[in-house]
Structure 1
């Protein structure tokens, strides 16, 4: 019998793991945005001494893990498992980083939902007694994502206003069976919801129904309400998707308007930085959480948040064959108290 299960899609953790440290590394554009003061390291350029963007992204992820472990006064050999993922084919940024780190490795792909997917599985491993210390990390890079999913940068194509800017960055979190919080207390695993959108430059609306579905199901499963949270933060719906998700949630009887924010909106100044609808990518919710949100929890500004990373499960191959873009969203409750 699944004793920790609540309702259809949520689990409550009996021994909530503590997030004992985080680290965030971002690119120059992200480091010029509104959250620049919260990131640990801002790169001067998007190659960081490497000879390709893909190698740079893997290096960013690897160094984010090292920095998070250093803050926790730990070394890789003390980590039971590494849960990591990225946007690239065969999650190469993660696997090549894991090659260097030499930590037992679970490679994950949930598109831009991967940060909360990794936190979910890492927390379950600790709560289940299978690990004492795990690291959860995700990354993305504007230049690697653009040439894989859309057009080569040399093409110079015009981006529509619904388009989002893939975040260059990586966010790592160290979870432990000991520590003083904040704690991961609930996990709501999302379902795939497909509204039928096939435009790779309009991913906010492709993900919004999945985000709304997960948030509403969390409330139904747990009995919690919007007023029980200081903030509900989606991953990268950006301006277009956030509005749609908020409306869908309201139709189900939950008003989240006063506490609803989106990492893709917060990370850039869309007018000054010309990012159109906002940010996206695995790195988006990862760096906003490990940078800004984690510090807000540690300082007491927030006591309980719901982080809902959102993903468009986009494959260029299948989209070229006429398929649509499925959406997914996973939620974790992170609280200052168990």
Structure 2
């Protein structure tokens, strides 16, 4: 199965494989630098539905369909699905995957959900409780704005520290059968709270959690930043990236040469007006299952750390004046 190492990590003795991935995004994401790498680009952000929430459910439904098609598997071949979104009671996921009738475990790790899903899927497969397990996460700009910020009709001004919630869904199959990469270890994050209360500055809220899990991973595994081709965070954006690098430098660790952030990669800073970059569960999930997987498949990258980051807040906690704690989950992925 594997072994527990250090304070919060697991190293797999027989590392499970990543067999295939799929990504579906909206029009704005398709116009960005990674547009040609996504499996499907929807031209209508509503996907022909009557609500933003229903549109996000359709993103999930289409992503699972695309993933099964690419992998050659049937829904009956999938033992479990770990999935989540940003909405209350995971309604996007509930209505998105319901018709597939796959045993389901719903996750809420905010924007870290894809890392949480991959970690749990890998543990499930490594322990022998499932041969094929799907990890999936989604977000939608319209549904997230309505729940966490302001209705789109309000037309509020966005500060430069704000990120743009990605309309997209990414999914991957973790399995015992040979794939293009293996999940060789995971480091589960802790809730870290630096007292930041600005919900329009997610990067500042999440960067301390990313710094903590990276620091503990390197200590648990006895590795250094140079041992990895890329250290990839989820959606810190430009503001959060600067904070992360600074926090780790204070601990004597410099990741600046190998660090990449999915939120920065998703949009064109000069031409797409997304301020600090992209965010949302779908940000890291779609960048992983498109750009990152392609780099692993062609062995341009041999060993990476994938670290989606999440801001643990709700409209209730924000309106009650609470701070915004962060969390980050780290997955070690190596090409085969």
TM-score w.r.t. the length of structure 1 is 0.98
Correspondences of 1:194-209 after superposition (within 5 Å): 194-209=193-208
Match in the other structure for 2:74: 75
Greater shift, 92-101 or 301-310, is seen at 92-101
Distance 2:43 2:97 in 1: 24
SS in 2 for 1:44: coil
1:3 Cα deviation from its structure 2 partner: 6.1
Alignment RMSD, CA only? 1.0
1:100 Cα deviation from its structure 2 partner: 1.2
Checking the alignment, whether the CA contact within 8 Å between 2:2 and 2:12 is kept in structure 1 is: no
Unaligned runs of 5+ in 1: none
1:202-249 CA distances to partner (integer Å, 9 max, x unpaired)?
A: 110000000000001000000011111000000000000010001111
Match in the other structure for 2:139: 140
Distance 1:76 1:14 in 2: 28
Distance 2:24 2:128 in 1: 31
Match in the other structure for 1:107: 106
Match in the other structure for 1:334: 333
Equivalent residues, number: 336
TM-score w.r.t. the length of structure 2 is 0.99
Distance 2:329 2:211 in 1: 11
Match in the other structure for 1:222: 221
1:40 Cα deviation from its structure 2 partner: 0.4
Distance 1:10 1:250 in 2: 22
Correspondences of 1:277-296 after superposition (within 5 Å): 277-296=276-295
Distance 1:211 1:165 in 2: 19
Answering whether residue 250 of structure 2 is matched by residue 264 of structure 1, we say: no
Distance 1:252 1:62 in 2: 43
Distance 1:252 1:66 in 2: 44
Match in the other structure for 1:19: 18
Unaligned runs of 5+ in 2: none
1:181 Cα deviation from its structure 2 partner: 2.9
Correspondences of 1:56-71 after superposition (within 5 Å): 56-71=55-70
SS in 2 for 1:270: coil
Match in the other structure for 2:84: 85
SS in 1 for 2:49: coil
Distance 1:128 1:225 in 2: 28
Answering whether residue 18 of structure 2 is matched by residue 35 of structure 1, we say: no
Distance 2:335 2:223 in 1: 16
Answering whether residue 251 of structure 2 is matched by residue 252 of structure 1, we say: yes
Distance 2:65 2:6 in 1: 38
